[in-house]
Amino acid sequence: MPPPLPTASPASITLERVTKRFPGGVVAVDKIDLIVEPGEFFSLLGPSGCGKTTTLRMIAGFEAADEGRVVVGGRDLTHVPVHHRDMGMVFQSYALFPHRTVAENVAFGLRMRGVARPEMAARVASALAQVKLEGYEARRPAELSGGQQQRVALARAIVIRPPVLLCDEPLGALDRKLRQAMQVELKELQRALGVTLVFVTHDQEEALAMSDRIGVMNSGRLEQVGAPADIYDRPRTRFVAEFIGEINLIEGRVHDGGFIAADGRVLPVSSEKGEGAAALALRPEKLRIVSSGAGVIDGVLSDASFLGDQVLYTVTLADGRRLLVKERNPGTGALRQNGSTLGVRWEPRDAVILRNA
Protein backbone atom coordinates (compact mmCIF):
# COMPACT_ATOMS: atom_id res chain seq x y z
CA MET A 1 0.00 0.00 0.00
CA PRO A 2 1.36 3.46 -0.78
CA PRO A 3 2.21 5.64 2.21
CA PRO A 4 -0.60 8.05 3.15
CA LEU A 5 -0.29 11.76 2.46
CA PRO A 6 1.31 13.63 5.33
CA THR A 7 -0.59 16.09 7.46
CA ALA A 8 0.04 19.73 6.68
CA SER A 9 1.05 20.91 10.16
CA PRO A 10 4.70 21.95 10.35
CA ALA A 11 7.11 19.75 12.30
CA SER A 12 10.15 20.50 14.42
CA ILE A 13 13.49 18.96 13.44
CA THR A 14 15.95 17.86 16.09
CA LEU A 15 19.48 16.73 15.32
CA GLU A 16 21.34 15.14 18.22
CA ARG A 17 25.09 14.72 17.81
CA VAL A 18 24.57 13.78 14.18
CA THR A 19 27.77 12.62 12.50
CA LYS A 20 28.62 11.46 8.98
CA ARG A 21 31.95 10.01 7.92
CA PHE A 22 32.84 9.16 4.34
CA PRO A 23 35.46 6.64 3.23
CA GLY A 24 38.91 8.16 3.21
CA GLY A 25 38.59 9.68 6.67
CA VAL A 26 36.39 12.67 5.75
CA VAL A 27 34.20 13.72 8.66
CA ALA A 28 31.59 15.58 6.59
CA VAL A 29 29.31 16.32 9.57
CA ASP A 30 30.75 16.33 13.06
CA LYS A 31 28.39 15.89 16.06
CA ILE A 32 25.83 18.49 15.09
CA ASP A 33 23.20 19.47 17.66
CA LEU A 34 20.33 21.56 16.35
CA ILE A 35 16.64 22.22 16.94
CA VAL A 36 14.63 23.79 14.11
CA GLU A 37 11.24 25.05 15.33
CA PRO A 38 7.95 24.20 13.59
CA GLY A 39 7.27 26.72 10.81
CA GLU A 40 10.74 28.20 11.00
CA PHE A 41 12.78 29.34 7.98
CA PHE A 42 16.18 27.98 8.91
CA SER A 43 19.28 28.37 6.73
CA LEU A 44 22.42 26.28 6.81
CA LEU A 45 25.17 28.61 5.61
CA GLY A 46 28.82 27.88 4.99
CA PRO A 47 31.58 27.55 2.41
CA SER A 48 31.83 24.78 -0.16
CA GLY A 49 32.53 21.38 1.42
CA CYS A 50 31.52 22.34 4.98
CA GLY A 51 28.81 19.65 5.15
CA LYS A 52 25.57 21.50 4.31
CA THR A 53 24.27 19.06 1.69
CA THR A 54 25.29 16.06 3.78
CA THR A 55 23.36 17.45 6.77
CA LEU A 56 20.28 18.02 4.60
CA ARG A 57 20.56 14.55 3.07
CA MET A 58 20.63 13.02 6.53
CA ILE A 59 17.45 14.91 7.46
CA ALA A 60 15.84 13.69 4.21
CA GLY A 61 17.09 10.14 4.67
CA PHE A 62 19.22 9.90 1.51
CA GLU A 63 22.22 9.48 3.75
CA ALA A 64 22.35 7.45 6.99
CA ALA A 65 23.93 9.08 10.04
CA ASP A 66 26.91 7.18 11.47
CA GLU A 67 26.11 8.51 14.91
CA GLY A 68 23.36 10.52 16.56
CA ARG A 69 19.63 10.86 16.02
CA VAL A 70 17.32 12.65 13.59
CA VAL A 71 13.93 13.41 15.16
CA VAL A 72 11.15 15.09 13.15
CA GLY A 73 7.85 16.07 14.71
CA GLY A 74 8.74 14.02 17.77
CA ARG A 75 9.33 10.85 15.72
CA ASP A 76 12.78 9.27 15.65
CA LEU A 77 13.50 8.92 11.92
CA THR A 78 17.15 7.92 12.21
CA HIS A 79 16.46 4.49 10.71
CA VAL A 80 13.35 5.31 8.65
CA PRO A 81 13.90 5.07 4.87
CA VAL A 82 13.59 8.15 2.68
CA HIS A 83 10.20 7.26 1.11
CA HIS A 84 8.61 7.06 4.55
CA ARG A 85 9.84 10.45 5.72
CA ASP A 86 7.28 12.69 3.96
CA MET A 87 9.61 15.54 3.19
CA GLY A 88 9.53 17.90 0.28
CA MET A 89 12.93 18.30 -1.31
CA VAL A 90 14.19 20.81 -3.88
CA PHE A 91 17.64 20.38 -5.40
CA GLN A 92 19.92 22.91 -7.06
CA SER A 93 19.61 21.07 -10.37
CA TYR A 94 15.76 20.95 -10.13
CA ALA A 95 15.94 17.23 -11.12
CA LEU A 96 12.74 17.38 -13.20
CA PHE A 97 11.71 14.52 -15.47
CA PRO A 98 12.58 15.92 -18.92
CA HIS A 99 10.04 13.92 -20.95
CA ARG A 100 7.09 14.60 -18.68
CA THR A 101 4.92 17.68 -18.66
CA VAL A 102 4.87 20.22 -15.89
CA ALA A 103 1.60 18.73 -14.54
CA GLU A 104 3.03 15.18 -14.60
CA ASN A 105 6.20 16.35 -12.85
CA VAL A 106 4.20 18.02 -10.12
CA ALA A 107 1.82 15.04 -9.78
CA PHE A 108 4.69 12.60 -9.22
CA GLY A 109 4.58 12.52 -5.40
CA LEU A 110 0.79 12.19 -5.44
CA ARG A 111 0.87 9.29 -7.90
CA MET A 112 3.44 7.53 -5.70
CA ARG A 113 0.96 7.85 -2.85
CA GLY A 114 -1.96 6.56 -4.86
CA VAL A 115 -4.04 9.73 -4.70
CA ALA A 116 -7.26 9.49 -6.74
CA ARG A 117 -7.36 11.38 -10.06
CA PRO A 118 -9.81 14.19 -9.22
CA GLU A 119 -7.95 15.06 -6.04
CA MET A 120 -4.64 14.81 -7.85
CA ALA A 121 -5.76 17.28 -10.52
CA ALA A 122 -7.03 19.72 -7.89
CA ARG A 123 -3.84 19.52 -5.88
CA VAL A 124 -1.58 19.95 -8.90
CA ALA A 125 -3.58 23.02 -9.98
CA SER A 126 -3.34 24.49 -6.51
CA ALA A 127 0.43 23.86 -6.23
CA LEU A 128 1.00 25.43 -9.67
CA ALA A 129 -1.08 28.43 -8.63
CA GLN A 130 1.02 28.79 -5.49
CA VAL A 131 4.18 29.09 -7.56
CA LYS A 132 2.44 31.29 -10.16
CA LEU A 133 2.62 28.79 -13.02
CA GLU A 134 -1.03 28.48 -14.05
CA GLY A 135 -1.32 27.75 -17.75
CA TYR A 136 2.02 25.92 -17.98
CA GLU A 137 0.61 22.44 -17.24
CA ALA A 138 1.31 20.96 -20.69
CA ARG A 139 4.84 22.28 -21.21
CA ARG A 140 7.95 20.20 -20.80
CA PRO A 141 10.93 21.36 -18.68
CA ALA A 142 13.03 22.22 -21.76
CA GLU A 143 10.35 24.73 -22.76
CA LEU A 144 10.71 26.68 -19.53
CA SER A 145 13.18 29.27 -18.24
CA GLY A 146 15.45 28.44 -15.32
CA GLY A 147 13.22 30.35 -12.91
CA GLN A 148 10.13 28.54 -14.16
CA GLN A 149 11.81 25.13 -13.85
CA GLN A 150 12.73 26.08 -10.34
CA ARG A 151 9.07 26.84 -9.60
CA VAL A 152 8.04 23.44 -10.99
CA ALA A 153 10.54 21.78 -8.66
CA LEU A 154 9.07 23.79 -5.79
CA ALA A 155 5.49 22.89 -6.77
CA ARG A 156 6.46 19.22 -6.93
CA ALA A 157 7.87 19.45 -3.41
CA ILE A 158 4.92 21.27 -1.81
CA VAL A 159 2.12 19.37 -3.58
CA ILE A 160 2.24 16.57 -1.02
CA ARG A 161 1.87 19.24 1.72
CA PRO A 162 4.91 18.09 3.62
CA PRO A 163 5.47 19.12 7.25
CA VAL A 164 9.09 19.80 6.32
CA LEU A 165 10.56 21.29 3.15
CA LEU A 166 14.28 20.88 2.42
CA CYS A 167 15.93 23.07 -0.19
CA ASP A 168 19.54 22.65 -1.34
CA GLU A 169 20.75 25.86 -3.03
CA PRO A 170 17.49 26.03 -5.00
CA LEU A 171 18.25 29.46 -6.41
CA GLY A 172 21.88 28.79 -7.29
CA ALA A 173 21.38 28.59 -11.04
CA LEU A 174 19.42 31.83 -11.37
CA ASP A 175 20.80 35.24 -12.28
CA ARG A 176 20.97 37.90 -9.59
CA LYS A 177 17.71 39.76 -10.33
CA LEU A 178 15.62 36.61 -10.70
CA ARG A 179 17.29 35.13 -7.67
CA GLN A 180 16.28 38.12 -5.55
CA ALA A 181 12.71 37.96 -6.83
CA MET A 182 12.53 34.23 -6.09
CA GLN A 183 13.93 34.82 -2.59
CA VAL A 184 10.96 37.02 -1.80
CA GLU A 185 8.52 34.55 -3.39
CA LEU A 186 9.95 31.55 -1.59
CA LYS A 187 9.78 33.36 1.73
CA GLU A 188 6.15 34.34 1.10
CA LEU A 189 5.28 30.81 0.03
CA GLN A 190 6.93 29.35 3.13
CA ARG A 191 4.91 31.71 5.35
CA ALA A 192 1.67 30.97 3.50
CA LEU A 193 2.20 27.21 3.81
CA GLY A 194 3.50 27.50 7.36
CA VAL A 195 5.98 24.74 6.51
CA THR A 196 9.25 24.18 8.37
CA LEU A 197 11.97 25.01 5.86
CA VAL A 198 15.64 24.08 5.97
CA PHE A 199 17.41 26.05 3.28
CA VAL A 200 21.01 25.40 2.26
CA THR A 201 23.05 28.21 0.78
CA HIS A 202 26.64 29.42 0.61
CA ASP A 203 25.39 32.95 -0.12
CA GLN A 204 25.46 34.99 3.07
CA GLU A 205 23.30 37.82 1.71
CA GLU A 206 20.64 35.31 0.76
CA ALA A 207 20.72 33.71 4.22
CA LEU A 208 20.58 37.09 5.97
CA ALA A 209 17.66 38.26 3.83
CA MET A 210 15.48 35.16 4.07
CA SER A 211 15.97 33.37 7.35
CA ASP A 212 14.38 33.42 10.78
CA ARG A 213 17.61 31.85 11.99
CA ILE A 214 20.90 30.83 10.44
CA GLY A 215 23.31 28.05 11.37
CA VAL A 216 26.82 28.87 10.18
CA MET A 217 28.79 25.70 9.35
CA ASN A 218 32.54 25.25 9.11
CA SER A 219 34.32 21.93 8.55
CA GLY A 220 31.35 19.79 9.53
CA ARG A 221 30.48 21.75 12.67
CA LEU A 222 27.92 24.39 13.54
CA GLU A 223 29.95 27.45 14.57
CA GLN A 224 27.03 29.67 15.53
CA VAL A 225 23.23 29.55 15.39
CA GLY A 226 21.21 32.72 15.65
CA ALA A 227 18.94 35.30 14.06
CA PRO A 228 20.49 37.13 11.07
CA ALA A 229 21.16 40.27 13.12
CA ASP A 230 22.88 38.22 15.88
CA ILE A 231 25.11 36.46 13.42
CA TYR A 232 26.01 39.71 11.68
CA ASP A 233 26.34 42.08 14.64
CA ARG A 234 27.54 39.64 17.29
CA PRO A 235 29.67 36.97 15.61
CA ARG A 236 31.20 34.65 18.18
CA THR A 237 34.15 33.32 16.20
CA ARG A 238 36.62 34.70 13.68
CA PHE A 239 35.25 32.32 11.10
CA VAL A 240 31.70 33.65 11.44
CA ALA A 241 32.92 37.25 11.55
CA GLU A 242 34.91 36.84 8.35
CA PHE A 243 32.45 34.64 6.46
CA ILE A 244 29.49 37.00 6.90
CA GLY A 245 30.01 40.37 5.26
CA GLU A 246 33.16 42.45 5.44
CA ILE A 247 34.96 43.03 8.69
CA ASN A 248 38.08 44.70 10.10
CA LEU A 249 40.04 42.57 12.58
CA ILE A 250 42.59 44.18 14.88
CA GLU A 251 44.80 41.75 16.79
CA GLY A 252 45.62 42.34 20.44
CA ARG A 253 44.61 41.23 23.90
CA VAL A 254 42.00 41.78 26.55
CA HIS A 255 43.48 43.33 29.67
CA ASP A 256 41.91 44.92 32.72
CA GLY A 257 38.45 45.19 31.18
CA GLY A 258 39.70 46.83 27.97
CA PHE A 259 41.39 45.95 24.68
CA ILE A 260 45.03 46.65 23.89
CA ALA A 261 46.05 46.38 20.24
CA ALA A 262 49.30 44.66 19.26
CA ASP A 263 50.91 48.12 18.86
CA GLY A 264 50.10 48.96 22.51
CA ARG A 265 47.23 51.34 21.75
CA VAL A 266 44.18 51.10 24.01
CA LEU A 267 41.06 50.89 21.81
CA PRO A 268 37.46 51.73 22.69
CA VAL A 269 35.34 48.66 23.57
CA SER A 270 32.51 47.91 25.97
CA SER A 271 33.85 46.49 29.21
CA GLU A 272 35.17 42.97 28.66
CA LYS A 273 35.80 40.29 31.26
CA GLY A 274 38.84 38.04 31.51
CA GLU A 275 42.31 38.32 30.04
CA GLY A 276 44.10 36.98 26.98
CA ALA A 277 44.76 37.14 23.26
CA ALA A 278 41.83 38.31 21.13
CA ALA A 279 40.87 40.27 18.05
CA LEU A 280 38.70 43.34 17.82
CA ALA A 281 36.11 43.04 15.04
CA LEU A 282 34.57 46.15 13.47
CA ARG A 283 32.10 46.25 10.59
CA PRO A 284 33.08 48.85 7.95
CA GLU A 285 29.73 50.65 8.30
CA LYS A 286 30.25 51.08 12.05
CA LEU A 287 33.41 53.14 11.47
CA ARG A 288 33.22 56.92 11.10
CA ILE A 289 35.66 59.09 9.25
CA VAL A 290 36.50 62.27 11.15
CA SER A 291 39.19 64.91 10.83
CA SER A 292 42.78 63.94 11.58
CA GLY A 293 43.46 63.82 15.34
CA ALA A 294 39.75 63.69 16.24
CA GLY A 295 39.42 59.91 15.97
CA VAL A 296 40.92 56.85 17.59
CA ILE A 297 43.47 56.20 14.86
CA ASP A 298 44.82 58.39 12.06
CA GLY A 299 45.44 57.06 8.56
CA VAL A 300 45.66 57.98 4.92
CA LEU A 301 42.78 57.40 2.55
CA SER A 302 44.21 55.02 -0.04
CA ASP A 303 41.17 53.92 -2.03
CA ALA A 304 37.56 54.88 -2.67
CA SER A 305 35.22 52.35 -4.31
CA PHE A 306 31.79 53.52 -5.38
CA LEU A 307 29.22 50.79 -4.60
CA GLY A 308 26.07 52.66 -5.63
CA ASP A 309 24.19 53.16 -2.37
CA GLN A 310 27.45 53.25 -0.41
CA VAL A 311 31.11 54.13 -0.79
CA LEU A 312 33.83 51.80 0.49
CA TYR A 313 36.97 53.59 1.63
CA THR A 314 40.31 52.00 2.46
CA VAL A 315 42.26 53.82 5.16
CA THR A 316 45.91 52.78 5.48
CA LEU A 317 47.42 53.15 8.94
CA ALA A 318 51.03 54.13 9.76
CA ASP A 319 52.08 50.48 10.15
CA GLY A 320 50.59 49.55 6.77
CA ARG A 321 47.45 47.86 8.11
CA ARG A 322 44.20 48.78 6.39
CA LEU A 323 40.76 49.56 7.66
CA LEU A 324 37.66 49.38 5.48
CA VAL A 325 35.09 52.11 6.12
CA LYS A 326 31.66 52.23 4.51
CA GLU A 327 29.74 55.47 4.21
CA ARG A 328 26.41 56.19 2.63
CA ASN A 329 26.70 57.64 -0.88
CA PRO A 330 26.66 61.40 -0.21
CA GLY A 331 24.66 61.92 -3.40
CA THR A 332 26.70 64.96 -4.37
CA GLY A 333 29.08 63.04 -6.62
CA ALA A 334 31.99 64.16 -4.45
CA LEU A 335 33.88 61.29 -2.84
CA ARG A 336 36.63 61.76 -0.28
CA GLN A 337 40.03 62.37 -1.83
CA ASN A 338 42.75 59.72 -1.98
CA GLY A 339 45.88 60.74 -0.09
CA SER A 340 44.10 62.81 2.55
CA THR A 341 45.00 62.21 6.20
CA LEU A 342 42.02 61.57 8.40
CA GLY A 343 40.86 59.98 11.63
CA VAL A 344 38.71 56.91 12.18
CA ARG A 345 36.49 56.35 15.20
CA TRP A 346 33.75 54.05 16.44
CA GLU A 347 31.33 53.56 19.31
CA PRO A 348 32.60 51.14 21.98
CA ARG A 349 29.36 49.11 21.76
CA ASP A 350 29.98 48.39 18.07
CA ALA A 351 33.33 46.70 18.72
CA VAL A 352 33.07 42.91 19.03
CA ILE A 353 35.82 41.04 20.84
CA LEU A 354 36.66 37.62 19.45
CA ARG A 355 38.64 35.52 21.90
CA ASN A 356 41.28 33.20 20.59
CA ALA A 357 40.19 29.61 20.99
Ligand X SMILES: Nc1ncnc2c1ncn2[C@@H]1O[C@H](COP(=O)(O)OP(=O)(O)OP(=O)(O)O)[C@@H](O)[C@H]1O
Residues found near Mg ion in the complex (CB under 5 A):
53
Query: Based on CB atoms, which residue is closest to Mg ion, 51 or 295?
Result: 51
Nearer Cβ to Mg ion, position 48 or 271?
48
Q: Of these partners, ligand X, Mg ion, none, which one is at the site of residue 248 (CB under 5 to 8 Å by kind)?
A: none
- The site string for ligand X over 11-30 (x = CB under 6 A, - otherwise) reads -----------x---x-x--
Mark the segment that binds ligand X (CB under 6 A) among 32-40, 52-60, 132-140, 307-315.
Answer: 52-60
Residues 123-182 that bind ligand X (CB under 6 A): none
Find the shortest distance in angstroms from Cβ 220 to ligand X.
Answer: 7
Q: How far is the CB of 13 from ligand X (least distance, A)?
A: 17
Q: Which does 22 bind (CB under 5 to 8 A by kind): Mg ion, ligand X, none?
A: ligand X
Site string for ligand X, 194-233 (x = CB under 6 A): --------x-------------------------------
How many residues sit in the footprint of ligand X (CB under 6 A)? 12
Find the binding residues for ligand X in span 182-201 (CB under 6 A).
none
Q: Binding partner of residue 184 among Mg ion, ligand X, none, CB under 5 to 8 Å per kind? A: none
- The answer to the question of residue 50 lying near ligand X (CB under 6 A) is yes
Q: Which of 200, 94, 105 is nearest to 145 (CA)?
A: 94
Q: Which is nearer to Mg ion, 48 or 332 (CB)?
A: 48
Q: Give the one residue of 15, 32, 54, 208 binding ligand X; rule: CB under 6 A.
A: 54
Beta bridge partners of 217: 222
Segment near ligand X (CB under 6 A); pick from 9-17, 51-59, 117-125, 134-142: 51-59
SS3 for the chain is CCCCCCCCCCCCEEEEEEEEEECCCEEEEEEEEEEECCCCEEEEECCCCCCHHHHHHHHHCCCCCCEEEEEECCEECCCCCHHHCCEEEECCCCCCCCCCCHHHHHHHHHHHCCCCHHHHHHHHHHHHHHCCCCCCCCCCHHHCCHHHHHHHHHHHHHCCCCCEEEEECCCCCCCHHHHHHHHHHHHHHHHHHCCEEEEEECCHHHHHHHCCEEEEEECCEEEEEECHHHHHHCCCCHHHHHHCCCCEEEEEEEECCEEEECCCCEECCCCCCCCEEEEEEECHHHCEEEECCCCCEEEEEEEEEECCCEEEEEEEECCCCEEEEEEECCCCCCCCCCCCEEEEECCHHHCEEEECC
Q: Does 49 engage in binding with ligand X (CB under 6 A)?
A: yes
Partner whose footprint covers residue 202, from ligand X, Mg ion, none (CB < 5 to 8 Å by kind): ligand X
Give min distance, CB of 190 to Mg ion, in A. Answer: 20
Query: Out of ligand X, Mg ion, none, which partner does residue 299 contact, by CB within 5 to 8 A per kind?
Result: none
CA separation for the pair 131, 188 (Å, rounded)? 10
**Footprint of ligand X on this chain (CB under 6 A)?**
22, 26, 28, 46, 48-54, 202
